Amino acid sequence: MRWSKVITVVGAHAEGEIGRVVTAGVLNEPGLSMLERLNWLNDEADHIRRFCLFEPRGAAQMTVNLLTPPSSPDADVGFIPMQGDGSHAMSGSNAMCVTTVVLETGMIEMEEPQTVVRLDTAAGLVVATAQCKDGRVQSVTLDFLPSFADALDCVVEVPGLGPVKLDVAFGGVYYVLVDAEQLDLKIAPENAKKMVELGNRIKLAAKKHLSVQHPTVPQFNEIEFCMFTDVEDQQNKVYRNATIMPPGRIDRSPCGTGTAARLAVMHARGEVELDESVTMRSTIGSRFKAQVSGNVEIGNLTGVTTRISGRAWVYGIHQLGVDPTDPFPTGFTMADTWGDGIEHMLPDL
């Protein structure tokens, strides 16, 4: 065996959503800020994402998180989630995976019963509080960056569906939120393929007809995800989320940034009070505990801060390598699992 490149990743998942963490093999990224590093990854170094995420070393159903030195003196570590369609500013489930991995591997010293890890992201500082016992992380609570409802009850004409009512909100990235009931749709594993097809169609229509612009970060000007929402038990404040992830799959967790966006919408409608605890469940039934923790001004908008708690587990340690004669040095995608929403890259053999 002879490898020309080796990257070490620790495998973890947060409530079912896979978030591998790169712990060795990638040099520090240039740039003074996390946003500059994100731009560098997307514009100049996308081969890192492809190497870690595309087949045969990766799969569509995962995220790979790149650790970086923090750009802020208030942070302990930076991270950038790399996903099927590109690298993104923030992910809640992946923040839980990163926190669990850096503590359980000793990259940051664990203190029991509680360790605070300050995460530097391209969307801002996220404070993670880990409950620790017997050398492992039992749960992670994230104090999120400001979120806000951008537009409520928009009606968008969607090909094949007609008019669809949706909300637009920011929870670290921009979402369109769609009540699944209006489509006579139940958030359940057996409907995953249908939800992906409808969600992709709705997002494309929303991007065509709606514009977004973050009030303080010029780069955040694009709708990135569609999330279906449902109510499981109104009396006990139990809800369901299903975020459609490019190129064509469902987030296995209740989705952290999606939960933040949904809480901002619910608070704007008066459906959840300050400090009121709710449960967000995923398509597979896993759960986050969440609450609106405060009100905040974001530029000329009024938004909220949120607190979201979940669990993550380490499941493996992997070394990803490539032989210099391998015809697929940065991997490949196939439409049978990656869908037709992503560029399919095959080398010239």
pLDDT digits (tens, 9 = 90+) for 305-324: 999 999 999 999 999 999 99
Q: What pTM did the predictor assign?
A: 0.94
Give pLDDT tens digits for 259-307. 999 999 999 999 999 999 999 999 999 999 999 999 999 999 999 999 9
Phi-psi sector, 275: left (phi>0), alpha (psi -120 to 50), beta: left
Return the amino acid letter for 144: F
Q: How many domains is the chain built from?
A: 2
CATH of the domain at 57: 3.10.310.10
Question: Which of 86, 112, 143 marks a domain boundary?
Answer: 143
Dist. CA 21–CA 53, nearest whole Å: 11
Asked if residues 237 and 194 have their Cβ atoms less than 8 Å apart, the reply is no
Predicted confidence at residue 247, as pLDDT, reads: 83
Q: Which residue has the tokens 């070393």?
A: 57
Percent of the chain with pLDDT over 90: 91
- Judged against a pLDDT cut of 80, whether residue 255 lies above it is answered with yes
281 strand-pairing partners: 240, 287
Return the amino acid letter for 25: G
Predicted confidence at residue 341, as pLDDT, reads: 53
Residue 255 lies in a domain: yes
Same domain, 103 and 180: no
Same domain, 85 and 20: yes
Residue 112 lies in a domain: yes
> Could you tell me which of 190, 187, 205, 290 has the C-alpha nearest to residue 243?
187
Same domain, 130 and 176: no
Q: Mark whether 253 is an active-site residue.
A: no
Burial (0-12, 13-18, 19+ Cβ within 10 Å), 319: exposed
Q: Mark whether 33 is an active-site residue.
A: no
> If you average pLDDT over residues 143-155, what whole number do you get?
96
Q: Which of 93, 255, 282, 286 is catalytic?
A: 255
Give the pLDDT band of residue 345 (cuts 50, 70, 90).
Answer: very low
Q: Which of 91, 93, 147, 286 is catalytic?
A: 91
- CA distances in angstroms from 70 to 258, 295, 312, listed in the order given: 24, 27, 22
Parallel, antiparallel, or unpaired: how do β-strands 136-143 and 124-133 relate? antiparallel
Q: Which residue has the tokens 């992670």?
A: 140
> If you average pLDDT over residues 134-163, what whole number do you get?
96
